Amino acid sequence: MTLVRLDNVYKSFQRAGGPVVNAVNGVSFEISPGETVALIGESGSGKSTIARLALRLYELDAGTVYFDGRDLTTLSRDELRHLRADMTIVFQEPYESLNPRQRIGRTVEEPLVIHEQKLTAAERHGRVVDALNHVALGENFYERYPHEISGGQQQRVGIARALVTRPKFIVLDEPTSSLDLSVRAQILQLLADLQDEFNLAYLFISHDIHTVEYVSDRICVMYLGQIVEVGPTAEVFANPQHPYTQALLSSSLSADPRVKKERFLLGGEIPSATNLPPGCFLHGRCPSGDDACAAAHVPLHAYTATHAVACIKVPWHADAEPAS
């Protein structure tokens, strides 16, 4: 059963007078209840755009997003507003997503006021305290202001706000990137506990390989607005097939000096999303890129029953041989 499904989604941006930025170029994946799917990729690869498309916080240029069997792109504003209680988001910068002049309790309460108008004030208060307790902040944080608490506590407030409507699905857009290592561990533990308790589905966005390997069940590797590899996290980490995934994994540096870093194979610069190269987007940087790679775009194809790769050098899975 799937809870969330993106089907061939596209999104581009154009700033006044500027070139068109092709942020998301045909992305599909799905997430089941209780599952954590990670999106990993470099800056500008389209991760945050996908986060917003998955909740239809942005309009899609093309493609469809389904939530709980419903096509979000066809829903009215009102219908969407009801669904917003079930699907929420935690943003990267904890401080920026909080209103500095608003007390913590009010910040956490806000989604209830907007999306669950049937609740009484007393019921809302109970829900807020409950959410604050769940993120281990407690009721005495209710009256505080954002600047009076630490970065890790601010991030907990963001999570409490995402949790207060009792959603089924939370998008976590780099929830720990701005936090120090020691605080990061607390938040990851908290997210894991909440997932177990409420059977939450997570879309977990990160560019930190260690974090993604630790938290996710499945992983989508993105490069320039496309998924180049997807599969169970353990399988992809053990046996990465796309040259970009291989490079990304080998660029992660172990803090154990006895584990020697692998040789790094990519060269050159990342192409601009305003001027995408023809063929495979990686071919200019790829050690095994050749004329065939430059000529034709390669779709994601099955490599094993659960693992798919967008590279023509990677063999097709026996059951998924292309028709031609």
Ligand X SMILES: Nc1ncnc2c1ncn2[C@@H]1O[C@H](COP(=O)(O)OP(=O)(O)OP(=O)(O)O)[C@@H](O)[C@H]1O
Q: Give the footprint of ligand X on this chain (CB under 6 A).
A: 13, 15, 21, 23, 41, 43-49, 207, 273
Closest contact distance (angstroms) between CB of 23 and Mg ion is: 10
- Report how far residue 5's alpha carbon sits from residue 193's, in angstroms, rounded to the nearest whole number: 24
- Report how far residue 54's alpha carbon sits from residue 51's, in angstroms, rounded to the nearest whole number: 5
Site mask for other proteins (CB under 8 A), range 262-301, x = bound: --x-xxxxx-------------------------------
Residue (189 or 239) nearer to other proteins, CB: 189
Q: Given the rule CB under 8 A, which of 67-75, 91-99, 154-162, 202-210 is the region that contacts other proteins? A: 202-210
Q: Given the rule CB under 8 A, which of 71-79, 103-111, 196-204, 248-256 is the region that contacts other proteins? A: 248-256
**How many CA within 13 A on the CB side of residue 204?**
28
Closest contact distance (angstroms) between CB of 161 and other proteins is: 22
Q: How many residues would you count in the chain?
A: 324
Residue 247 interaction partner, one of other proteins, Mg ion, ligand X, none, beta carbon < 5-8 Å per kind: other proteins
Residue (15 or 258) nearer to ligand X, CB: 15
Per the listing, tokens 């063999």 go with: 315
Supply 117's token pair: 């108008």
Residue 270 interaction partner, one of Mg ion, ligand X, other proteins, none, beta carbon < 5-8 Å per kind: other proteins
Q: Is 49 in the site for Mg ion (CB under 5 A)?
A: no
Q: Is 207 in the site for other proteins (CB under 8 A)?
A: yes
Q: Is 48 in the site for Mg ion (CB under 5 A)?
A: yes
CB of 302 closer than 8 Å to CB of 317: yes
- DSSP per-residue string spanning 25-92: EEEEEEE-TT-EEEEEE-TTSSHHHHHHHHTTSS--SEEEEEETTEEGGG--HHHHHHHTTTEEEE-S
Q: Is 211 in the site for other proteins (CB under 8 A)?
A: yes
Site for other proteins in 21-60 (CB under 8 A): 42-43
Strand blocks (E) in the chain: 4-14, 20-31, 36-41, 62-67, 70-71, 87-90, 169-173, 201-206, 218-223, 226-232, 301-302, 308-309
Q: How many other C-beta atoms lie within 10 A of the C-beta of residue 44?
A: 15
Among 251, 301, 304, 313, binds other proteins (CB under 8 A): 251
